[in-house]
Amino acid sequence: MSGAERALTAEDLAARLNGSLRHCPPNRPISEVRPLEEAHPGSLSFLANPKYAAKAQASEAGLILVDSKTDLGERAVLVVENPYWAFAQSIAWLHPEPMPDWAETPIHPTAKIHGRVSLGPGVTIGARSEIGAGSVLHPGVHIGDDCVLGEGCELFPGVALYRRTRLGKGVRIHANTSLGSDGYGYVLVNGRHEKVPQVGWVEVGDEVEIGACVTIDRGVLGATRIGAGTKIDNQVQIGHNCQIGEHCLLVAQSGISGSTKLGDFVTLAGKAGVVGHIEIGARSIVGGASVVAKSLPEGSFVTGYPARPHKEWIETQAALNRLPRLMKKLKG
């Protein structure tokens, strides 16, 4: 997705974004947008919050978008009014989404079918996608461009894989589930929610099973990842850039907001919710219809809204049940 042919100079970016370069040679080539911690010298990155200044200092990014209140000393920065909006625009310029490459035939001539694969009627496979041997694609499965499916996958009717989705071996996905839809990212500019382009992808490990009507968003820039052996029930929602560990159980109608990490063997019971940008330690259990708003250490067992240690939740519920009587008594 990067490459000198698509690079802009720091000066070009400054002009387009109406910003001011500091400590940066104007002709420095910038070919991609990346988060601070994954940035290279050819990367543009951005500092959303001054409290992460240390992270910015440690980053290899060739240029960092900041607002005028942020001081990063000698680091090469591009000072703009709204760094997040500048970040969104830069993604659009440096990572433009190609138009889908549809052929006359439902299976694109450049798709590669390995070994014996069973294809139902109405299956479409995009350009350059590869289907592993022994896979079964039921009627109406739609595989986008540049996808890779491992051996022995089974996709049921109506499954949609957006471009660049990668499935390991033996992955089963049930009807009308989609992987790779755009994450929910907008920035408010002049009273409108402007889109933060979502140009990443979804990666699914071996032996993962995913239920029906599940939605997994692709990463903003990199991957949303589902670890090997994880089992996802129907109607689960997973936001952009989530990193789900191995052998997790995500029960029906649970949901995880963007950029959250789950360790291995985490269980979310039915209808549980987890906010974005937190970490749930390995082997934790979140009770049904509970909402986790803070990171949890390994082996946690939490329940309620907001989720608290299960024992505490039991105690508060018991106390709550006795409360009306207590109040009457105190009045009397």
Active centre residues (catalytic) = 240
* Using rule CB under 8 A, residue 98 touches a copy of itself: no
Q: Which of residues 210-239 bind a copy of itself (CB under 8 A)?
A: 211-215, 217, 229, 231, 233-235, 237, 239
* Using rule CB under 8 A, residue 116 touches a copy of itself: no
Q: Which is closer to a copy of itself, CB of 6 or CB of 308? A: 308
Task: Give the C-alpha distances (Å, rounded to integers) separating 182 from 115, 122, 201, 263, 286.
Answer: 32, 24, 9, 24, 27
Q: Which of 262, 166, 255, 180 is nearest to 219 (CA)?
A: 180
State the nearest-atom distance from the C-beta of 278 to a copy of itself, in Å: 13
Kind and range of the H or E run holding 217: strand 215-217
Q: Which of residues 161-190 bind a copy of itself (CB under 8 A)?
A: 162, 172, 174-178, 181-182, 184, 186
Q: How many CA atoms lie within 13 A of 95 on its CB side?
A: 20
CA distance 87 to 84: 5
194 Cβ contact partners less than 8 Å away, ≥ 6 residues apart: 85, 88, 186, 187, 188
129, 135, 257, 300: which one binds a copy of itself (CB under 8 A): 257
What is residue 89's DSSP assignment?
Answer: H
Q: Which of residues 65-94 bind a copy of itself (CB under 8 A)?
A: none
Q: Which is closer to a copy of itself, CB of 2 or CB of 181? A: 181
Please, which residues bridge with residue 163 across strands?
Answer: none
Q: Which of residues 264-283 bind a copy of itself (CB under 8 A)?
A: 270-271, 273, 275
* Using rule CB under 8 A, residue 54 touches a copy of itself: no
Binding residues with a copy of itself: total (CB under 8 A): 84
* Using rule CB under 8 A, residue 105 touches a copy of itself: yes
* Using rule CB under 8 A, residue 146 touches a copy of itself: no
* Using rule CB under 8 A, residue 312 touches a copy of itself: yes
Q: Six-digit token pair at 320?
A: 């709550």
Q: Where are the alpha helices (DSSP H) in 60-135?
A: 83-94
CB 249 within 8 A of CB 268: yes
CB 65 within 8 A of CB 45: yes
* Using rule CB under 8 A, residue 4 touches a copy of itself: no
* Using rule CB under 8 A, residue 1 touches a copy of itself: no
Q: Which is closer to a copy of itself, CB of 28 or CB of 108? A: 108
Q: Which is closer to a copy of itself, CB of 77 or CB of 248? A: 248
* Using rule CB under 8 A, residue 121 touches a copy of itself: yes
* Using rule CB under 8 A, residue 150 touches a copy of itself: no
Taking only Cα atoms into account, the Rg of the chain, rounded to an integer number of angstroms, comes to 23
Q: Which of residues 286-305 bind a copy of itself (CB under 8 A)?
A: 288-289, 291, 293, 304-305
* Using rule CB under 8 A, residue 263 touches a copy of itself: no
Q: Which is closer to a copy of itself, CB of 62 or CB of 219? A: 219
State the nearest-atom distance from the C-beta of 139 to a copy of itself, in Å: 4
Task: Give the C-alpha distances (Å, rounded to integers) separating 55 from 48, 63, 66, 72, 116.
Answer: 11, 13, 13, 11, 49
State the nearest-atom distance from the C-beta of 135 to a copy of itself, in Å: 12
Q: Which of 143, 167, 144, 153 is nearest to 117 (CA)?
A: 153
Stretch that binds a copy of itself, among 13-21, 68-76, 119-127, 219-227 (CB under 8 A): 119-127
Q: Where are the alpha helices (DSSP H) in 127-257?
A: none
